[in-house]
Structure 1
Amino acid sequence: MSDLARTLYSDLAGGDTDAHVHLSDRAFLDAIVEFESALVDAAAATGHLLPDVADAARAAVAAYDYDLVAIAEDSAAGGNPVIPMVKEIDTEGVHVGATSQDAVDTALVLCIRRAVDAMDIDGVIALLEALARDHRDTPIMGRTLGQQALPTTFGVIAAGWLGGVRDAATRLHDAAAALPVQYAGATGNLVATHPDGITIHDRLAADLGLADRPLVWHTNRLPLVTVGLAAAQLAGAVRKIAGDIVAYSATEIAELAEATPGGSSSMPHKANPAAAVACDGYARRTPGLAATLLDTLDCRWQRGTGSWHAEWQTLRDLFAATASAVSRIHTSLDGLRVHTDAMAARVTGTDTGHAGDITDLILDGDHHE
């Protein structure tokens, strides 16, 4: 349990921790070790390391067993965990031509890629598709600016939720797929492994399954900022659904209800939409974290002074919050009770326009002939 993200309660309260295990301190340091191992292989494959040196380096990295607390404490002196880790391995051929930022950035990329893959976004999309399809023609009173407006259908409302999540998910998956390896050396010119540096770089990218361009992004933080903003957009898309479910679940409206609502410590009559409320709470943290990422674009000279360091925790917190928001909206939607009689009772008029057709188009991915 201690190998989840940063705060045990927050991760466990999110429900599904599959993504969080890839965002923990241990996962981060494990990914640094993975980078060092893959770098030895890439340098050996391109002939930059002699076979006996490469074999010894591989063995040293494979046998390396770090102490998480000790590495954290030792990181204070140099400002990052790579320095004490490489010092402890202390073998020729390890960290060849690399700088600390190469290992840290690549480790973050690996953690983020795996966290995105572990989020049950497809499960949320499937629940929304079923909800929209089942209630294609269920009449409900539309509401705008807090007031009743004109009739629509609950199917088109659910389809709207679906469209937002699906679009945000596409952006997130695209941004994660584009995340690159980082290997450029002390000042970003691969001088330490010249003339093999670019060949090692591209082999390293291929071995880790990462993009090989941009070639150097030590001070071009757009790859991480782009994927972080995409995560915040997904969190915002599920938060919109959560807010609607909370509103539709209000006692005075009672058009929706979660399958397993939460109770109250002092008011036993309450049936709170607890999962939707929790989703809102997790998602509400993401705009501030995304703003911090935007601030890291101010990356001075050839190594960020504080801006780079601010990314490590911020990115993992952002993805952990997003993963928890996705998990909680999944719980909220799973078995969601749709009180069609309560919806119909408030409908004035019968014209729902092309709501059913719009629902079908959104379900079909907004395709048209």
Structure 2
Amino acid sequence: MTDHPSSSSSSSSVPPRPAADHGLLDPALPASAVTAQTSDAAIVAGLLEVEAAWTQTLAEAGVVSADEARAVRAAADRLAGSVDLDELARAATAGGNALIPLLKRLRAELPAGFTAVHVGATSQDIVDTMLMRMAVQATGTVVADLRAAATALATLAVEHRSTPMVARSLAQHSLPITFGLRAANWLDGLAQAADRLAAAAAALPIQWGGAAGTLAALDGALASARADGRLPDDGSGPDAFALTSALASRLGLQDPPGPWDTTRLPVTQVAAALADAVAACGRIANDVLLSSRVEIGELAEPTAPGRGGSSAMPHKQNPVLSVLVHSLALSAPGTLAQVYTAAGAANEDRPDGAWHAEWPALRRLLRDAGAAAALTREVAEGLRVRPERMRANLDRTGPVLVSERLMSALAPRIDEERGEPGAGRAAIQAAVDAHLAGTGDFRAALRQAAPAAVSDAELDRLCDPGGYVGLAEQVVDRILAAHGLDGAAEKTDD
């Protein structure tokens, strides 16, 4: 019997594997700066920034010295660019989070016996605060791309305000609309998602509660500072809440009334807004995918060298931008469910595992939203619109598309002519049925049923799908105005 080497027997001779990959199975993610803003290197820098900012806050209040704050800042800056991320990730297993080994390395950069770092804090204070600060930065990128995409769509909406096309409901031709309305509806979703995401990010707070949410260690540190004369002992110096408020201001976050270690609404709210943004982008991608099919041909993605080609079929031009956005829209709901599951599993005063399950899910949503917004922006800014194909597809169904209008405008006149209530609707329905069955000429059947007073020109007008778009143009105007994008009309005119 031949012995096969096992992973355990060979592990001693194999170098430790990297703790992170390069995203080869996530081809959408490099499209956005959010991927770098949420990288492991960015996380390390963010954790160190919170520690340094906290020491600076304490120094400004007199709790520690300015020299100590400068020492922490210098050590944090040195460490941010030199830490071995693979080694740090492996070391994080021992304590359950990366801050514990990172803090050990930070202290090693400081003089022996140095105590003015991580004062009154616990790991969750630093990690949660870092994540909220990272979310603010990343969502800023997402919102900017969403709004840029909406602006590009506003230009399309104005340009094609009156361009007729066929609406599809339940995947079938329904009524005529305009492409301007389709584009305006797209931008409405993006603009609403951007507004909601911006509001959620603006509400993100710092976390500061100490080991069990009581701020006991920080309160004790302040008592020691008063006892040894670093702070006045008459009560005029800062209290713990004043310090955490100052930290929030320094980091650009909100100051909550208390810690939220197991009340995870800040996270679920921003996560839901991120998922909304991905969904708004996904809806556009779905429409572009369908409309770019050869047999439809109404839209085409912007082209770029090397993009969209097929290794086996040179004739293909794949809509890869929308394909990638579609993939993100499929995965984001499951990731959001993980965030909510973690929030609902938090217990007592510090969560045991639910908190840890939340981190990768939040980062994934930030990255998915970042990629979806960036790719959608590229699609919107370079989308190729083909009005002639829209008209051709509209004419494929032809006058039958306006049977709704014929029922309201022509049927009563047939009733009046024949003196028989319901005769008009029956005649038009019979013409529709014959047309759909391929056994009759719809226009000829209408001419036969219509009163002589209805001229051929009037009948042609009633049967023209392009002339039955309702208030589509006005809806376009209202949507643009609602989002402050009605100025797109002036730019288009120029």
Query: Shorter-chain TM-score: what band?
Result: over 0.9
Q: Indicate whether 1:329 and 2:372 are aligned.
A: no
Q: Is the 8 A contact 1:11 1:324 kept in 2?
A: no
* Per-residue deviation, 1:6: 5.8
In 2, distance between residues paired with 1:189 and 1:209? 23
RMSD (Å) for aligned C-alpha atoms: 1.8
CA deviation string 1:31-69 (max 9, x = no partner)? 000000011011122232245544544444344343222
In 2, distance between residues paired with 1:330 and 1:288? 24
Q: Indicate whether 1:313 and 2:364 are aligned.
A: no
Q: Identity over aligned residues, as a percent?
A: 39
Q: Indicate whether 1:106 and 2:166 are aligned.
A: no
Q: Could you tell me which residue of structure 2 aligns to residue 242 of structure 1?
A: 285
Q: Which has the higher contact order (CA 8 A, sep 6+)?
A: 1
Tell me which amino acid in the other structure corresponds to 1:70. Answer: E
Tell me which amino acid in the other structure corresponds to 1:313. Answer: P
Which of 58, 71, 77 lines up with 1:43 in the alignment?
Answer: 58
Which of 270, 294, 303 lines up with 2:340 in the alignment?
Answer: 294
Q: 1 or 2, which has the higher helix percentage?
A: 2
In 2, distance between residues paired with 1:144 and 1:116? 33
In 2, distance between residues paired with 1:53 and 1:270? 63
In 2, distance between residues paired with 1:252 and 1:279? 22
Tell me which amino acid in the other structure corresponds to 1:267. Answer: M
Q: Which consecutive residues of structure 1, in runs of 5 or more, have no partner in the other structure? A: none
SS at match of 2:181: helix
Q: Indicate whether 1:232 and 2:349 are aligned.
A: no
Which of 476, 480, 488 lines up with 1:363 in the alignment?
Answer: 480
Q: Is the 8 A contact 2:91 2:98 kept in 1?
A: yes
Q: Could you tell me which residue of structure 2 aligns to residue 200 of structure 1?
A: 243
In 2, distance between residues paired with 1:307 and 1:276? 34
Q: Could you tell me which residue of structure 2 aligns to residue 340 of structure 1?
A: 387
Q: Could you tell me which residue of structure 2 aligns to residue 150 of structure 1?
A: 175
Q: Is the 8 A contact 1:15 1:328 kept in 2?
A: no
Stretch moving more, 329-338 or 154-163: 329-338
**TM-score, normalized by length of structure 2?**
0.70
CA deviation string 1:244-291 (max 9, x = no partner)? 011111111111111216122222222221111111112221101000
SS at match of 2:175: strand
Q: Indicate whether 1:33 and 2:39 are aligned.
A: no
CA deviation string 1:198-218 (max 9, x = no partner)? 111101001111100142111
Q: Could you tell me which residue of structure 1 aligns to residue 440 of structure 2?
A: none
Tell me which amino acid in the other structure corresponds to 1:336. Answer: L
* Per-residue deviation, 1:136: 0.4
Stretch moving more, 118-127 or 247-256: 118-127
Q: Could you tell me which residue of structure 2 aligns to residue 76 of structure 1?
A: 93
Q: Which consecutive residues of structure 2, in runs of 5 or more, have no partner in the other structure? A: 1-19, 108-113, 223-238, 399-464, 485-494
* Per-residue deviation, 1:306: 0.8
Q: Indicate whether 1:122 and 2:169 are aligned.
A: no
CA deviation string 1:279-331 (max 9, x = no partner)? 11122211010000001112111111110001111111111111111122222
In 2, distance between residues paired with 1:92 and 1:176? 33
**TM-score, normalized by length of structure 1?**
0.93
Which of 182, 186, 189 lines up with 1:161 in the alignment?
Answer: 186
Q: Indicate whether 1:133 and 2:158 are aligned.
A: yes
C-alpha change, 1:207 and 1:22, in structure 2 (3 Å) is same
SS at match of 1:296: helix
Q: Is the 8 A contact 1:190 1:197 kept in 2?
A: yes
